[in-house]
Amino acid sequence: MTQALKVGYIGLGLMGKSIARNILKAGFTLVVHNRSRAAVDELVAEGAQAAFSPAEVARQVDIVFTNLPDSPDVEQVALGEDGVIAGAHPGLVMVDNSTIKPATARHIAAVLGEHGVLCLDAPVSGGDIGARQGTLSIMVGGPAEALEKALPVLQATGKTITHVGESGAGQIAKACNQIMVAAQMVAMGELLVFAHKAGADPRKIVEAIKGGAAQCWTLDVKPPRLFAGNRQPGFKAYMQAKDLGIVLDTAHEYKIPLPSAAVDAQLFNAMLQMGMAELDNSAVLGVIEALAGASLDESSI
């Protein structure tokens, strides 16, 4: 049965296109916009409607989602010329699935609030797999009445939806998530290289430790891909580096010491310098390999 709410989705990248597709599959009328038209054409072929600006999307829908690379992008799409603000109408809810600075989320919510729009910052975790399967973890900041309206749509895209608090709280939760994700990716890279160079089979090491205190999503999901020589995203390294920049900028704003996250940020920035920006965040392993002078490729394990 077709859902009554009309939904817009702006930003059809690696994650956004899969999230939008799940909204469409759930029976919602969907209007999509993206700078690159190929993703728009793909979803239109599946039943979505095309729009040519954020304002055009916002004008037509009850709920407009955004999923964009960084804080300036979201601010431009929300508040810029021909942005969501130009198509704002009372009762519109904007849900941002991007990962941006908490301060930016609060600013957008305040400005759009003056135009009758309720805003939710709702970043997601779970990678491309979670986006495709509709099993994302969604961290929500913003007013409860906006979440109540958007909840049926969010339930089509994620399995864990947590209302963390007021505007900005969802982005704070995502920053905390990225502190942990980065630490896990770096630790996994270190332990795999350690095992290999110290003379043990990394595959067997992973099997030995992932059922104990070291168990985590990263060890459950990433090693088989790495052992097969697959370092493709997933979640791109340059996005992990960007997210850690948000973490450290926010930590500086609130005078919070984050020594481990600062080192992890250096390692992910090293990936960018080494030409690995487009690889998966688990490919931070490559930086550890370079430092150790040991390659964990298929021929050596």
Indicate the SS3 state at residue 127. Answer: helix
Distance CA 28, CA 223 (A): 37
Give residue-wise pLDDT tens across range 221-250.
999 999 999 999 989 999 999 999 999 999
Domain boundary among 100, 134, 166: 166
Whole-number pLDDT of residue 1: 40
Q: Residue type for 146, please?
A: A
Say yes or no: 129 and 88 in one domain.
yes
Q: Give percent of the chain above pLDDT 70.
A: 98
Say yes or no: 189 and 210 in one domain.
yes
The catalytically annotated residue of 17, 101, 149, 174 is 174
Grade residue 291 by pLDDT with cuts at 50, 70 and 90.
very high
- Does the pLDDT of residue 154 top 80, yes or no? yes
Sign of CA pseudo-dihedral 127, 128, 132, 138? positive
Say yes or no: 89 and 206 in one domain.
no
Domain residues for the domain of 62 are 6-166
* 32: CATH: 3.40.50.720
Domain boundary among 128, 146, 166: 166
- Does the pLDDT of residue 295 top 60, yes or no? yes
Mean pLDDT of all residues belonging to the chain:
96
Q: Give percent of the chain above pLDDT 90.
A: 94
User: Is 174 designated active site?
Assistant: yes
Domain boundary among 99, 134, 166: 166
- Does the pLDDT of residue 191 top 60, yes or no? yes
Give residue-wise pLDDT tens across range 108-119.
999 999 999 999
Alpha-helix residue ranges (DSSP H) falling in the chain: 16-25, 37-44, 54-60, 71-79, 102-113, 127-133, 144-154, 169-198, 202-209, 217-227, 237-253, 259-273, 285-292
Distance CA 104, CA 101 (A): 5
Query: What value does the mean pLDDT take over residues 29-42?
Result: 97
Say yes or no: 33 and 154 in one domain.
yes
In a domain, 105, yes or no: yes
The string of DSSP codes covering 28-94 is -EEEEE-SSHHHHHHHHTTT-EE-SSHHHHHHH-SEEEE--SSHHHHHHHHHSTTSGGGG--TT-EE
Say yes or no: 182 and 153 in one domain.
no
Say yes or no: 14 and 160 in one domain.
yes
- Does the pLDDT of residue 296 top 90, yes or no? no
Say yes or no: 97 and 186 in one domain.
no
Say yes or no: 149 and 273 in one domain.
no
In a domain, 267, yes or no: yes
Residue 15: partners with Cβ closer than 8 Å, 6 or more residues away: 67, 97, 124, 128, 131
Say yes or no: 137 and 225 in one domain.
no
Split into its structural domains, the chain has a count of 2
Say yes or no: 63 and 84 in one domain.
yes
pTM of the shown model: 0.93
Whole-number pLDDT of residue 2: 56
In a domain, 1, yes or no: no
In a domain, 265, yes or no: yes
Whole-number pLDDT of residue 298: 54
In a domain, 194, yes or no: yes
Say yes or no: 158 and 181 in one domain.
no
In a domain, 178, yes or no: yes
Say yes or no: 10 and 99 in one domain.
yes
Give residue-wise pLDDT tens across range 171-183.
999 999 999 999 9
- Does the pLDDT of residue 91 top 50, yes or no? yes
- Does the pLDDT of residue 189 top 50, yes or no? yes
In a domain, 104, yes or no: yes
Give residue-wise pLDDT tens across range 201-217.
999 999 999 999 999 99
* 235: CATH: 1.10.1040.10
